[in-house]
A and B are shown apart, each in its own frame.
Chain A
Amino acid sequence: MRRTLVLLAVVSIASAVPVDAAKKKYSHEEYFEHYEGTKTCLTCHEDEAVTFFHSQHYQWTGETPAIVNADGEKLGKKNTINDFCTNPIPAWIGITKNSRGEILSQGCSKCHAGLGKMPSPELSREQLENIDCLICHASGYNRNLYENEDGSLEWKPILWKNQAGLDSVSKRIGNPKRTSCLRCHSGSGGGPNYKRGDIEYELADTDRSYDVHMGTDGGDMACTDCHGGENHRMQGRGVDLMGSDSPERLRCDNGVCHDSEPHAKELINRHSARVDCTVCHIPTFAKADATDMIRDWSTPAYNEAKDKHVATITMAKDVVPEIGWYNGTVWAQLPGVPITTQSDGVVGMVIPQGSLTDPESKLFAFKVHRGRMPVLTEDRWLLPINVEEFFADGDIDGAVREAAHVLYGLEDIDYEWVDVKRYMGIYHGVQPAETALRCLDCHGPDGRLDWAGLGYETDPLAAVLAPSH
């Protein structure tokens, strides 16, 4: 009896679950008895599944209105090459283990909202049943990669052997929670905050001093408050993302939340015409977890603790963004075309378009990710890398050749390494007014802006204050 009393206290404190949790009703409690995979959802939601099938989150490609050199082609992570894990096709799904038998990785499909099959542009029943509705919509749902009896691999609920537990979780349906989104958007690229820099796990439960919008003592907004859209088409797109789910740009100052003159002081409002909110209100990023700033694939390293081969990665924390002009469009280095080298001798993977003289441009805050990537010696095409194989054996040459074969169908290639850079928009970790940048953070002798690089003759404030002749 004494043990039971202690346990009752533990249970109620430890799990923070009401005592009558077992009796609580979930949103889909009445709609079905047993969850039998996606077909259970399709019984009522086939139309929604079709909209999701066509979305970026499923296809990993999309319309490209913001890519100036896309020529109308649908693009996305599936058919382009990036300077993080390069391309998902050669390493879509698999269980890669180290010499100790520990799992190193499970393929890029770990972050695809499907059950393991490659997304196809052709709609079919098989593709609809491949959608993993629960990964975004079921609170408490978790999955892992399992091998079926026929040897195929499939992402399944970790509760697949526990029907009663699975039935409970699969009925907890709602809009995606922060943790659902952050599971992939924070964890991508190899570790917490490696890729994006400003989308940290910290956002799951934070305060306004970290992010004035998502802080529970601030706006307490969820990801879907800004990014939710109709028919599974998300609002907003990272600067370096190829596809767009929605044609409209997601803006802070479009009048829905803030108007174009949101400040009390007219002097600051005047800045809003050419300076995006992010420049002043996101003074630094990677505030909780360091982010990957340079990934050199040409110089393999070995992580002894994990018994894992990795690229040489330079991490940084509390990074000051680079500021550049951006008019909502970018130029992208596409696969199968010769690389284009920028004036600094570096290949631009994604370069924002815009300038001082372009009235559509504003200054924005960017993370600039740098790296070293393979290119074909003769044709100068960018090459992907089969990173999963490399993690286990450290054979970077074999990983490049294997990926070149999978993506381009090439054999016996000659390749070399080039320096690359990618501009990524910084939009999260927004500071309230009291901790935003002040005038002298940009203007004055120690200001953070490279005025000449931005096209100005000098600091505009200095020009105004200079004595006239």
Chain B
Amino acid sequence: MSRTKLMIVVVLAGIVALSFASGATAAKKKIKGQDVYKEFCKPCHEVDSDNGEYTPMSLIMDQWETFFEEDFEETHKELNDPNNDNTPVTDVLTEEEFEALAKWTIDHAADSEQPMTCG
């Protein structure tokens, strides 16, 4: 098999795998980003927090994208979650929860059509 064909097969397999994963996620109970925020983020980032107050409308969409893509791991890697058996903060969320949190936050950023606090 040529190198090009091999790459095509790998990409197609990836797409199929992602489709199954997506279907499986949809079948599960829908996770709300707002609920994730309230449970995992708000305890450390509420009003007047020493860690800084953050709600979706604290940042614009571009900034949230950069945060989730690049900064989250770096800024939270040495922190543990006291509300979840001191699990490292970077491990406390499932992928689905992380995904829901990111979508909700970006959808309600300061420059979105519906900026929100955590509600």
Residues of A within 8 A of B (CB): 2-4, 6-11, 14-15, 17, 21-22, 139-142, 158-159, 161-162, 164-165, 168-169, 179
Which residues does chain A contribute within 8 Å of B110, judged by CB atoms? Answer: 140, 142, 158-159, 162, 165, 169
Chain B residues near A15: list those with CB within 8 A.
61, 65, 106-107
Q: How far is the CB of B105 from chain A (nearest CB, A)?
A: 9
Q: Which residues between 12 and 33 of chain B lie within 8 Å of chain A, taking CB atoms? A: 18
A162 cross-chain contacts in B, Cβ below 8 A: 58-60, 63, 110
Q: Which of B35-43, B79-87, B94-102 contacts A (4 or more CB under 8 A)?
A: B94-102
Q: Which interface residue of B57, B65, B66 has the most chain A CB atoms within 10 A?
A: B65
Please list 24 pairs of residues, one from A and one from B, whose beta carbons are closer than 8 Å in the complex, sorted by A's number.
A3-B98, A4-B69, A6-B99, A7-B68, A7-B69, A7-B102, A9-B18, A10-B103, A11-B69, A14-B102, A14-B107, A15-B61, A15-B106, A15-B107, A17-B61, A17-B65, A22-B65, A161-B58, A162-B58, A162-B110, A165-B60, A165-B111, A168-B62, A168-B111
Bound together, the chains give a CA A163 to CA B63 distance in angstroms of 12
The answer to the question of B88 belonging to the interface, with a C-beta cut-off of 8 Å to chain A, is no
Q: Which interface class (under 10, 10 to 19, 20 to 34, 35 or more) fits B?
A: 20 to 34
- In the bound complex, residues from chain B placing their C-beta under 8 Å from that of A10 are 99, 102-103
Residues of chain B within 8 A of A7, CB atoms compared:
68-69, 98-99, 102
Q: With A17-B61, A165-B63 given, is the CB distance from A140 to B111 under 8 Å? A: yes
Tell me the smallest distance from the CB of B93 to a CB of chain A, in Å.
9
Residues of B within 8 A of A165 (CB): 59-60, 63, 110-111
| Cβ–Cβ contact B62 & A11, under 8 A | no
Taking CB atoms, residues of chain A closer than 8 Å to B57 are 142, 158
CB of A187 to closest CB in B, whole Å = 13
**Cα separation A3 to B91 with both chains bound (whole Å):** 11
Query: Does B102 lie within 8 Å of A169, measured CB to CB?
Result: no
Query: Once the chains bind, are B60 and A11 in contact (CB under 8 Å)?
Result: no
Instruction: For B50, list chain A residues within 8 Å (CB).
Output: none
Interface secondary structure of A, over-half rule: helix
Is the pair A168, B60 in contact by a Cβ cutoff of 8 Å? yes
Tell me if B48 is interfacial: C-beta within 8 Å of chain A.
no
Decide: A3 near B69, CB < 8 A? Known: A162-B58, A179-B113.
no
Q: CB distance B63 to A164 under 8 Å?
A: yes
Neighbouring B residues of A21 by C-beta, 8 Å: 61-62, 65
Give Cα A17–Cα B66 distance, bound, in whole angstroms.
13
Provide the residues of chain B in CB contact with A8, threshold 8 Å: 69
CB of B47, distance to nearest CB on chain A (Å): 12
- For B58, the chain A residues whose CB sits under 8 A away are 161-162
Q: Say yes or no: A11 contacts B63, CB within 8 Å.
A: no
Chain A hits for B61, CB < 8 A:
15, 17, 21
Report whether B102 and A11 are in contact in the complex, using a CB–CB cutoff of 8 Å: yes
Given contacts A7-B68, A10-B99, A142 and B62 within 8 Å (CB-CB): no
Closest residue of B by beta carbon distance from A161: B58
Instruction: From the candidates A2, A22, A158, name the one contacting B66 in the complex (CB within 8 A).
Output: A22
Q: How far is the CA of A4 from the CA of B74 in the complex (A)?
A: 13
If A7-B98, A142-B111 touch, does A169 touch B60 (CB 8 Å cutoff)?
Answer: yes
CA distance A142 to B117 in the complex (A): 13
**Residues of chain B contacted by A139 (CB below 8 angstroms):** 111
The residue in B68, B69, B110 that gathers the most chain A C-beta atoms within 10 A of its C-beta is B110
Roughly how many angstroms separate A139 CA and B102 CA in the complex, as a whole number? 22
Q: Which chain B positions have C-beta within 8 A of A169? A: 60, 110-111
**Given known contacts A6-B99, A158-B57, A11 and B68 CB-to-CB distance under 8 angstroms:** yes
**Measured CA separation A162–B56 after assembly (Å):** 12
Give every chain B residue within 8 A of A141 (Cβ-Cβ). Answer: 111
Residues from chain A with a CB closer than 8 A to the CB of B111 are 139-142, 159, 165, 168-169
Q: Are B106 and A11 in contact (CB under 8 A)?
A: yes
Q: Chain B residues near A2: list those with CB within 8 A.
A: 95
Residues of A within 8 A of B59 (CB): 162, 165
Q: Within 8 Å CB of B107, what residues of A? A: 14-15
In the assembled complex, the CB of A303 is this many whole angstroms from the nearest CB of chain B, namely 19
How far is B114's CA from A15's CA once the two chains are assembled, in angstroms? 12
Q: How far is the CA of A168 from the CA of B62 in the complex (A)?
A: 9
Q: How far is the CA of A325 from the CA of B66 in the complex (A)?
A: 59
CA distance A179 to B114 in the complex (A): 11
Instruction: Return the chain A residue nearest B103 by Cβ.
Output: A14
Residues of chain B lying within 8 A (CB to CB) of residue A168: 60, 62, 111
A9: which B residues are within 8 A, CB to CB?
18
Distance in angstroms from B117 CB to nearest chain A CB is 9
Counting chain B CB atoms within 10 Å of each CB, the highest count among A4, A11, A22 belongs to A11
Smallest CB gap from A140: residue in B: B111
- What residue of chain A has the Cβ atom nearest to residue B98's Cβ? A3
| A6 and B95 contacting across the interface, CB-CB below 8 Å | yes
